[in-house]
Amino acid sequence: MENQFIIKGGNPLHGEVVIGGAKNAALGILAAAIMTDETVTIDNLPNVRDINVLLTAIESIGATVNRLGPHEVQINGSTISDVTIDYDSIRKIRASYYLLGALLGKYKRAQVALPGGCDIGSRPIDQHLKGFRALGATVNIEYGMINTFADQLTGNHIYLDVVSVGATINIMLASCMAEGRTVIENAAKEPHIVDVANFLNSMGANIKGAGTDKIRIDGVKRLHASEYSIIPDQIEAGTFMVAAAATKGDVLIRNVIPKHLEAISVKLIEIGANVEEFDDAVRVSATDRLGHTQIKTLPYPGFPTDMQPQIATLLALSNGTSTVTESIFENRFKYVDELTRMGANIKVEGNVAIIEGVTGFTGASISAPDLRAGAALVVAGLVADGFTTVDSIHFIERGYEDFDKKMTALGACMEKIPVDDEREIQKFKMKAV
């Protein structure tokens, strides 16, 4: 039975929230973990759907996956008996492609179903494949599968035509046990790239320069056991920062790396919110209506595309005219129609959203079009007058652990109920009044 969120808006968020491990780092790290035959222990793993799908895929090829708790897992890749991954749910997650790089790097062959993920635009993987080919692999796409194999992988100089997080990580995976040196130029610099590189290095890889646009990978013969804790999730943290500001609340967001949040903090401060940085926490509060600004999504350290729907939602409630330019994915404004139904005044022209701030939203029945937009619509519901239901929350659960529980602990009035369960809706409304 599909669930939905029901929300009664109007409560400012107050208190403390603890951020989980970074989903996008974890996906790369779990794939990397199968590259050694020794046991790897990974901590601060977010307990979200994308991670669980990837773990199931890893198990399906024979690796041993031992969940020590909701946020800790042990993986042993010595029992892998197959290099073909083709089951339905793996197509739903983008990061299935990391298994290509990991299996190719370890066994010199892999066959993985073409990835899907959020429908936020066409998402080519030509740069990943170009990287594999540069290392000496043959790559074919047949019957919805990517098939890649090599006699030997040899380091090479690879210049990425577009800055791609996925391609950068995949090439690191495929090349870390190749013969000789690989250099990735125009590499992505996101925090999770550094985290995957640090994890691979903790297993004995020799990767330097992650976090800059030139990464050098010297191939090693083998990787070994490691214990590793994943970095905090930049986007989960950013979402709570925006939610605190949008509801005119005051929230201490704990277990974060403030440096990773700078692009978000700077914009919040610019429009009038208060952001206080601590060693591993940020506190965000707002009292008055916030102001307008211009935002353009860019690769790290620019403003993250994964925060675009959330910040646009906040700007839709702020004073004046803002523009949000989406420069990474072409189809990332699908939530605008839903926000409009709640009273927002947003016009999309090409890859630019022109936002005329309104003084408030009103509750409506809306649907999450994708992961981050879904979270943004929940934030809209938290601010809106009256009741909002958000369905298709399976998108949100791909990347946010206990989203409703964390919001409720901060004072939000929301609940997860079965879709269109009138009795539950009435019960919630009675309680909420």
Interface contacts to ligand UD1, rule CB under 6 A: 24, 27, 94-95, 123-128, 162, 164-167, 188, 305-306, 328-329
Q: How far apart are CA 186 and CA 135, in angstroms?
A: 17
Q: At what angle do helices 49-60 and 97-107 cross, to 10 degrees?
A: 30
| DSSP-derived pairing of the beta strands 413-418 and 3-8 | antiparallel
In this structure, what token pair is assigned to residue 29? Answer: 């790290």
In this structure, what token pair is assigned to residue 142? Answer: 């047949």
Of residues 410, 384, 406, the one with CA closest to residue 397 = 406
In this structure, what token pair is assigned to residue 49? Answer: 């759907």
Residue 28 CB, shortest distance to ligand UD1, in Å, is: 7
Q: How far apart are CA 243 and CA 249, in angstroms?
A: 8
Q: Would you say 100 and 131 are in contact if contact means Cβ atoms under 8 Å apart?
A: no
Task: Check 7, 45, 118, 146 and give the catalytic one.
Answer: 118
Q: Would you say 27 and 98 are in contact if contact means Cβ atoms under 8 Å apart?
A: yes
Question: DSSP state, 92?
Answer: G
Question: DSSP state, 13?
Answer: P
Helix (H) or strand (E) holding 226: strand 226-229
Q: How far apart are CA 32 and CA 172, in angstroms?
A: 10
Closer residue to ligand UD1 in complex, CB, 148/285: 148
Please name the residue that has the structure tokens 């809306």. Answer: 366
Is 413 one of the catalytic residues?
no
**Which residues are known catalytic residues?**
118
